Structure formats: structure tokens, C-alpha cells
Amino acid sequence: MAKIAMIGGSGFDDPNILSEIRQVKMGTPYGPLSSDISTGKIGSIEVALINRHGKGHRIAPSLINNRANIWALKEIGITHIVATTACGSLRQEIEPGHIVFPDQFIDWTKSRKNSFFEGDQVAHISMGDPFCKKLRQILAEVAAELQIKHHMSATVITIEGPRFSTRAESRMFRALGADIVNMSTVPEVVLAREAGICYASIAMSTDYDSWHVSEAPVTWEMIVQTMKTNVESVKQIFFNSVQRINYEQCECKTAIESALV
């Protein structure tokens, strides 16, 4: 059984990176998943893949059923999630084409289901360190060994989308302390912590967001172009990391225990 899953974001939705692929169809108490889960192998390691935006990128960021996706991964026994995401850079030094391993987030979303606990039980989960430290460490070590340009820590601000930021917003995000901007990390990372799953993100910087004086307004076409070169780096990092992860107990697994009211 797979212990590790990749949630594939924009530009990263091809299950053929695995061998011996099987499709897992399942329902959840929260409704349908973004896509079927594909399971298969990287070397001797069993891996699961789910495509966040659905087949052919048809699910807008605000409409992603994050609770169904995370619930299903938990249900099949996943203990570790590596999530890929395209992001805009809010810092000169994070150049398009660089890889970023965020360690903090700012939640700028507006209308998303952000907890599994909204019925009879309330949970206030600690979020001081939202991403799994151990998993981030491995991803960054591998990136360093492969000599892939990367940034060890960064704050990601997740916006509601689907539109990109205005210049005023982009400048404000910089002033708030954000380093990169995307539309997917929150609430995915929060739900993973509630579910006791270790979660880390590989963010691919595709462009300077609109704060950048020399930057023409961001277009989807520009992003897709840069992403093509990024995808290869992300694959290499993921492939080399899955062999190294210690799939035993991590403190992420029990975080929910002290959160229940």
C-alpha cells in the first residue's frame, strides 16, 4: 500500500511518471474527488497520485474539493503528502524557474471549506509550523544534491483566485511578509494536518507577480512556458525523495489530539 502521495498541481498531472499504474475510484462523505487516485511505483516504493485540478485542468481553485481529496488519501493509508504548486514570486531573488519549499503560509482565501470539524465537534489545531519539518528537510536536501536552484524557506500567501493579483495587492503581499503567491496551499495543508498526514509543498516559481516593475501583467501562457522547465526538476526531487522518507511516526500524526474541544 502507498504511504506517500503527490497532489499534482498545474503542469503536473501525468500519472505515467509511475510504473504499474492502477486507478482507484472512490467516493467520500464530502463528495467527489478532483480526480481518480492513480497508484503505482517509483522504484520499489508504492506511490499515489491525485490531480488537484482534475483531468484537463477544469476545476477552478475555489471549487477544489480539498476535504474529499485529503479524506480519500487518508482512507487509503497515506501518511505523507508532497504537493506541487505553481506560484508567483514576490521577491527578486526567487527567480522564475526556481523551486521553493515554503515553511509558512498566510491565508488570503475567502470562501473555502477549511476544516473537517464543523458538525458536533470543534477543533482548533495548532498551525505555528504548518508544513512537516522532516519532509521539507528531505526535499531540500535532495534539491541541493541535484543542484536545483531552490529556496529552503518562504512564506506562501494563498489567494482566492481565479484571477491574478492587482499591482496594489501584489505590493501589499510583499509588505505583509509573503515571498510567493498561489491559489492552492490553503486549506489543503490545514486539512492534511487535521488528518494527521505529513505535508510539504514543492512550489515552482513561474513568474514575478505583478508588483515587479519590469513585469508585464501575468498571463497563463507565460506561466505554462516556465512550468514546462520546472516540471522536470520537481519530478527529480520527488523521485529521489520517496526512497529516503522515514514512513514511521511523525509528530504531524498526532497534532489533532490536542486540538479537539
Catalytic residue ranges: 207, 209
- Total number of residues binding Zn ion (CB under 5 A)? 4
In the complex, what is the shortest distance from the CB of residue 59 to Zn ion, in angstroms, rounded to a whole number?
27
Considering only the stretches 62-70, 129-137, 156-164, 178-186, report the one whose residues sit in contact with Zn ion under the rule CB under 5 A.
Answer: 129-137
By CB under 5 A, which span of 104-112, 178-186, 204-212, 252-260 interacts with Zn ion? 252-260
Residue 173 vs 238, nearer CB to Zn ion = 238
User: Among residues 6, 45, 197, 252, which is the contact residue for Zn ion, using CB under 5 A?
Assistant: 252
Q: Does 255 bind Zn ion (CB under 5 A)?
A: no
For residue 37 the three cell numbers come to: 487516485
Place of cell 514576490: 90
Instruction: Confirm or reject binding of residue 198 to Zn ion (CB under 5 A).
Output: yes
Among 132, 186, 189, 218, binds Zn ion (CB under 5 A): 132
Q: Is 250 a binder of Zn ion (CB under 5 A)? A: yes
Give the shortest CB-244-to-Zn ion separation in angstroms: 14
Q: Which residues contact Zn ion by CB under 5 A?
A: 132, 198, 250, 252
